[in-house]
Chains A and B, each alone.
Chain A
């Protein structure tokens, strides 16, 4: 037990989780922005935009996140020497955020589209009947209802994003939780099980409240029909 507690003096477990939370936070904001635009593309009347949205979703949804993040480090950072910050670690951190955002945007787009599918036909018809064209109808009538219908799937994407932030290890973000867990187990292989459960419970504590919260919010904010 004392052995176990001494681990927390040597290794800063909370700081590692904080890295994952930051990765998830920024990636979630970007993914939401990109995903909303993609969803708008896919429901727009313009064929080239529809095609672009569909192509983006099919490409990024079917690529392993590991490849995207490894590409960010091995391709963009090492070969192309693209740097998003002066500091090396900050640059890797931001490239990992871009990778996570680009990947999860495809799922955000599909979540919002599933939200659009919960909006009854009559809403769009009514919007047209009072003379709204595509963008005003989407902004005032369809999307507000679609977002409320998409809360549960968006919550699932957020949960997946938090768990997937550990894959940033493939993008050489060494300070995040899975990397620290690996280091800790390598140095204290006698405590491998307690170390694993510490990190696993950390994610359970992060993820389960979000699941409960989004379930509650999706009921609370559901459009009464």
Chain B
């Protein structure tokens, strides 16, 4: 149900007046909080022009914001590709008709979903750095990508599994009826349909990957947050710098989330006959990290 419309009646004159009063009070309180934040920031000298002018200079963009953003997007892009691959392999593994394959895939996925991404990142960063298997300067990027892949790949594996399980049984039966084996039917009939149904949830997971790439900050990967901290330390405007970093993330993620919502509306006619609740529930889980 859409709660907004049914929790309260179509307002009469008195209710309309109350809503108006509530609205005015709400706006005033909101403005009050905003004014308090602004005055506190101003008191500490955070709103002086010198704090914000660096963002108008091209060298700030050239040497800090853009290189940082490129590194963030690079890590996120690689991790998105590898997580989808990981998710497909383990998602199909969890649906295998061979019980041992199912168990192994299930244990791996459940384990990786329970371990904090940051722990995996620190582990791979230090392990790769000290083993000499990779160049020391490459270790942070590789650690970020591996950790993001293992965690988000496991979530995507669950999406694949729930997507396939949400398909009508007739799809598999029809596949078997035309002489496909169980694996062939899974690969060529069920998974492709599940992928389309899970597209919105998948894009929500990309938002998680992009956000979590900022964890690279802790393991010295030079992503956006790292560059913005350097800028903030250099220019003495750490608060404006972090705010700009947050704003960049918010804009990109908001665009991705909007795309996911649009897609889910667009695709709803293709998934109408099924139980979209299953995919929706997992998506909620995915978004919360």
Contacts and interface: CB of A to CB of B under 8 A. Distances in A.
Do the two chains belong together in a single complex?
A: yes
Contacts of B257: 58, 61-62
A42 B242 CA distance: 28
Instruction: Say what secondary structure dominates the interface of chain A.
Output: helix
Contacts of A117: 1, 3
A62 B111 contact: no
Contact of A114 (B8, B111, B119, B284): B284
**Chain B interface main SS type:** helix
B7 A142 contact: yes
A170 B218 contact: yes
A61 B110 CA distance: 24
Given A64-B214, A75-B238, A153-B285, A169 B118 contact: yes
B144 to A, nearest CB: 12
B11 interface: yes
A111 B26 contact: no
Contacts, number: 197
A62 B242 contact: no
B224 to A, nearest CB: 9
Nearest to B130: A189
Interface in B96-130: 110-111, 114-120, 122-123, 126-127, 130
B139 interface: no
A80 B52 CA distance: 17
Nearest to B124: A196
A45 B19 contact: yes
Given A45-B7, A121-B1, A167-B215, A63 B119 contact: no
Contacts of A164: 116, 289
Contacts of A166: 116, 118-119
Interface stretch (B59-67, B169-177, B180-188, B243-251): B243-251
B265 interface: no
The 3 closest A-B pairs by CB, nearest first: A64-B214, A48-B26, A62-B253
Given A49-B26, A160-B289, A166-B119, 6 more contacts: A58-B257, A64-B212, A66-B217, A116-B3, A133-B8, A178-B118
24 contacts: A43-B3, A44-B7, A44-B22, A46-B26, A48-B26, A62-B250, A63-B211, A63-B249, A74-B238, A75-B238, A137-B8, A142-B3, A156-B284, A157-B288, A163-B114, A166-B116, A170-B218, A178-B118, A178-B119, A181-B122, A192-B126, A200-B120, A207-B114, A208-B110
